[in-house]
């Protein structure tokens, strides 16, 4: 029996979507779905909900929970990862509250920025433990990573973990749809091409019937920016740099040095930037979960419709050899994007079939876009260096090179902030020399 292992199965709603999709995919029937999580209550919840979907879907998949991670992984053909190390309390709170003492404000803090750096530093050791188990008990498995910070973790698993890994993110899938919806345009028949790095990939081409749609998009964007709306940062970046970006405005506000600035507080209001957005979402999700939990667990007739998540489509393409195109995070091997570092993780179109995930060659990005990507790649690569070497100086370097952090704080304050965050994280972080 072939096996799909889901690590972080206590992420019940996400597990329901991904694994519900699996149970609705004919080519994946008969697979064992192995569930693993460090929270036994959430693990049991997910098992019960998935068994309800199995009954209503008529799936022949076998659902099994494991308390031993290595046994959950043993013999797996595919591994899906959706963990969060440290959770909202204490780690997300730490990522936001300690920098505030230095006047450094954030919105999401899960990619780069000071919060993204420290999320990486506490997650990388856990991921490398996964990789050690995978090399031992399922060395040929394809690892599908959904955990942020996407680019760094996917890079680490490929480069240092020795595990065949592709990173999957929602932002490519919804980029054109969200842009067109915001500007009142119809996506029917629209063709697009997207490439860059995770959360900062670029809509390089967008056309319909051979006509470039960017002039109309920019005309509408100029008008849209005259009113308050949820996507002001992205439209501003497009109007200044020429191309639309995949991830949301609340994310991109903290990836660049232009928007969240103590000396220009009017920018927060002007661009409608939701500071502390991620902690608010966490509080809301925690408050809503018990109500949702009761509804899901109590519904023995629970049904599911296949979602837009890539995972089941990737597995289906490999099992059937019917090609499927995704936007995947992969290593920049061979210079897929020629003017980005080869040791970086890039997000490019990939064709999936029986041979696996096959990335496509992009060539050079427009120079201004590659330059913006490199500002984030610098921090990503130095964060990896810090995690692999255990040297505190590289934690400082990663933060010093971060666009938002370096725009707000002096070098001495950056060093002091990093020291305070290392101390505040305590046992959640490895020891840095």
Return the HEC string of 28-76.
HCCCEEEEECCCHHHHHHHHHHHHHHHHHHCCCCEEEEECCHHHHHCCC
H or E element: which one contains 181? helix 171-183
**At 348, is the secondary structure helix, strand, or coil?**
strand
Only one residue has tokens 């965050």, namely 421
CB of 294 closer than 8 Å to CB of 282: no
Measured distance CA(150)–CA(140) in Å, rounded? 21
CB of 330 closer than 8 Å to CB of 346: yes
User: Does the annotation count 230 as an active-site position?
Assistant: no
CB of 22 closer than 8 Å to CB of 314: no
Q: How many CA atoms lie within 13 A of 88 on its CB side?
A: 12
Measured distance CA(431)–CA(433) in Å, rounded? 7
Contact partners, residue 62, CB within 8 Å, separation at least 6: 1, 30, 31, 32, 33
Question: How would you classify the pairing of strands 324-331 and 345-353?
Answer: antiparallel
Measured distance CA(313)–CA(319) in Å, rounded? 10
The one catalytic residue among 170, 304, 404, 425: 170
**At 79, is the secondary structure helix, strand, or coil?**
strand
Return the exposure string of 27-45: e unless at least 16 CB atoms fall within 10 Å of the residue's CB, then b. bbeebbbbbbbeeeebbbb
Instruction: For residue 199, say whether it is annotated as part of any ligand binding site.
Output: yes
- Cite the DSSP H helix spans in 390-427: 392-401, 403-408, 411-425
Per the annotation, binding residues for Mn(2+) are: 169, 199
Name the residues annotated as catalytic. Answer: 170
Per the annotation, binding residues are: 148, 169, 199
């Amino acid at each position: 029996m072939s096996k799909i292992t889901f690590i972080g199965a206590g992420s019940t709603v996400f597990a329901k979507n991904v694994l519900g999709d699996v149970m609705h995919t004919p080519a994946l029937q008969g697979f064992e779905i192995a569930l693993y999580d460090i929270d036994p209550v959430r693990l049991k919840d997910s098992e019960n909900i998935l068994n309800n979907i199995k009954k209503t879907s008529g799936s022949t998949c076998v659902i099994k929970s494991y308390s031993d991670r290595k046994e959950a992984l043993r013999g797996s053909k595919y591994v899906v990862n959706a963990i969060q190390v440290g959770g909202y309390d204490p780690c997300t709170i730490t990522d936001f509250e300690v920098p505030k003492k230095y006047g450094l404000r954030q919105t999401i803090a899960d990619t780069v920025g000071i919060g993204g750096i420290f999320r990486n530093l506490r997650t990388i050791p856990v991921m490398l433990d996964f990789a050690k188990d995978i090399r031992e008990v399922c060395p040929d498995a394809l690892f599908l990573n959904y955990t942020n910070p996407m680019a760094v973790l996917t890079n680490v698993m490929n480069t240092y973990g020795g595990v065949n890994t592709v990173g999957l993110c929602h932002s490519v899938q919804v980029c054109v749809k969200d842009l067109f919806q915001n500007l009142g345009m119809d996506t029917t028949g629209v063709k697009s091409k997207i490439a860059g790095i995770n959360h900062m990939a670029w809509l390089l081409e967008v056309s319909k019937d051979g006509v470039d749609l960017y002039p109309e998009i920019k005309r509408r964007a100029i008008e849209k920016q005259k009113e308050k709306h949820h996507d002001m940062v992205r439209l501003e970046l497009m109007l200044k740099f020429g191309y639309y970006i995949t991830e949301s405005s609340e994310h991109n506000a903290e990836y660049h040095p232009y928007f969240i600035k103590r000396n220009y507080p009017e920018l927060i209001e002007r661009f409608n930037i939701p500071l502390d957005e991620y902690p608010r979402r966490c509080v809301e999700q925690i408050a809503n979960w018990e109500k949702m939990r009761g509804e899901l667990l109590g519904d023995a007739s629970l049904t599911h419709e296949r979602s837009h998540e890539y995972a089941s489509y990737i597995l289906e393409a490999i099992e059937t050899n019917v090609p499927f195109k995704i936007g995947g995070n992969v290593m920049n091997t061979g210079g897929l994007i020629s003017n980005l570092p080869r040791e970086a993780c890039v997000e490019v179109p990939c064709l999936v079939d029986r041979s696996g995930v096959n990335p496509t060659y992009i060539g050079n990005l427009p120079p201004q876009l590659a330059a913006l990507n490199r500002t984030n790649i610098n921090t990503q690569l130095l964060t990896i260096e810090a995690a692999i070497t255990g040297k505190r100086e590289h934690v400082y370097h990663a933060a010093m090179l971060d666009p938002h952090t370096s725009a707000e704080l002096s070098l001495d304050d950056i060093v002091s902030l990093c020291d305070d965050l290392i101390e505040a994280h305590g046992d959640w972080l490895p020891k840095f020399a």
